[in-house]
Amino acid sequence: MNYTSRKRLLSLLGSMLLIVCWCTGCGNLSYDMAYHVDYDVSSFNVVTRQETRTAVPFAENLCVAAGNVLSDTVDMSHAEAAGLFGLNERQVLYAQNIHERLHPASLTKVMTALVALKYGQLNQTLTASDAVNITESGAVLCGLRAGDTMTMDQALRILLIYSANDAAMLIAENVGGSVERFVEMMNEEAARLGATNTNFMNPHGLTESEHYTTVYDLYLIFNEAVKYETFNEIIHMSGYQTVFYDKDGKEKAFDQQNSNQYLRGERQIPANVTVIGGKTGTTNAAGYCLMLLSRDENGAPYISIVLRAEGVEELYMEMTDLLDEIHK
C-alpha cells in the first residue's frame, strides 16, 4: 500500500471514530473545569461585583431585624408596633411587631412626598381638579377646590406640616397624570426600596382595607425621604403660612401649625436628643401613629416609629420612651 492509500485509510478510520463517539455521547470523556462563585467570570460576580470580588448585600447599609428587640425600660403596652433604628450604626435598638401589616394613616404621605420630590419639580404649578373634593368625615383639608393653583413646594409643605388630604390628591394627579397612576408609582417605589409588606391604595392614608404597611417598611421609606434636603427642611418647620389662588386668581390664605406636638413645644423631649421632625397620622383603623427623625448630642441620626397607639397621650408617652433608648 502506497503512502497516499495509507493516508486515505487513516482519514477514513478517523472519521468513523468521530461518528461512533458522537453517537455514543463519549460517556467516558470529562473535562476538569473548576467553578466557584467568587471567580471573576462567575455570573454571580458579573452581575453583582463592584470593586471587590464578593457581592454587595441589598441590606448592607440598612438596619435589619427578623423579630422583636425589646427593652424593660420601654412601655409599649398601649401600641401595636414600634421601632427605633440607629442610622449610623445600622442598628435596631428596639423592635415590636415591626413586620406586622397595619394601616399607616397619614404616614402614607411620606411616600407621597418622596415620589413627588423624585419625579416632580418644586417650582411647577399644580392645578386642582374635582379629585380634591374629599367628603370623608374628619378628614383634614386645606380647602382646595377645582381650579385652585399652588406650587409643588407649597403643596408639599401643606401636605407634611398640616397633613392635608386634599393636598395629597393635588400632588398625585399633577405628578402622576392621574391619582391611579401616582399610586402605582408609590408602590413601585416601595418595591424598589424593599418595602415588600406595603401596599398603597391612595396618596393620603384614609382607610382602605388593602392599604397597609409595616414599621420596618416605613423605616425604609422614611430613610429614603430624609436624603432630600427639602424634605428635612419641611418636617422641621413648626408651622407654615402661604397664599395660593382660586380659579379666578383670588388669593386664599393658609396658616397652620405642625401637627407634631414635639415641634410645637407641647411635649418634653429627652435630654441630649433633638427631634428634627417627622409625620403624624390618625384614623379609626390606624389609631394614633408617629414617625420621627431625631439626632443625639453627637449629631447621629435615628428613626423612631409608633403605630396604632390607643390615644394621643399614649402615643407621645411611648415615643418618648423610645427616644430615651438612644442613650442606653
50 shares a domain with 187? no
Q: Find the angle CA(322)-CA(325)-CA(328) to the nearest 5 degrees.
A: 175
274 shares a domain with 152? yes
**What domain range includes position 244?**
81-327
188 shares a domain with 59? no
Spatial contact of 326 and 92, defined as CB atoms under 8 Å apart: no
In a domain, 304, yes or no: yes
49 shares a domain with 158? no
Given a cut of 70, whether residue 205 has pLDDT beyond it is yes
- Sequential DSSP letters for 7-69: HHHHHHHHHHHHHHHHHHTTTT--------TTSTTSHHHHHH-SSSSS---TTTTS---SS-B
47 shares a domain with 93? no
133 shares a domain with 180? yes
pTM here? Answer: 0.82
182 shares a domain with 239? yes
129 shares a domain with 246? yes
Q: Find the angle CA(111)-CA(112)-CA(116) to the nearest 5 degrees.
A: 115
CB atoms closer than 10 angstroms to residue 129? 17
Q: What is the CATH number of the domain that holds 303?
A: 3.40.710.10
Q: Which sequence positions are flagged as catalytic?
A: 106, 109, 163
List, for residues 263-303, the tens digit of each pLDDT value. Answer: 999 999 999 999 999 999 999 999 999 999 999 999 999 99
pLDDT exceeding 70 applies to what percent of the chain? Answer: 82
Reported as a pLDDT band with limits 50, 70 and 90, residue 26 is very low
φ, ψ of residue 16 in degrees (nearest 5):
-65, -40
185 shares a domain with 145? yes
Given a cut of 50, whether residue 173 has pLDDT beyond it is yes
Number of domains making up the chain: 2
In a domain, 103, yes or no: yes
253 shares a domain with 123? yes
In a domain, 198, yes or no: yes
Q: State the alpha helices, DSSP H only, in 208-273.
A: 215-225, 229-235
How far is residue 59 CA from its own chain's centroid? 14
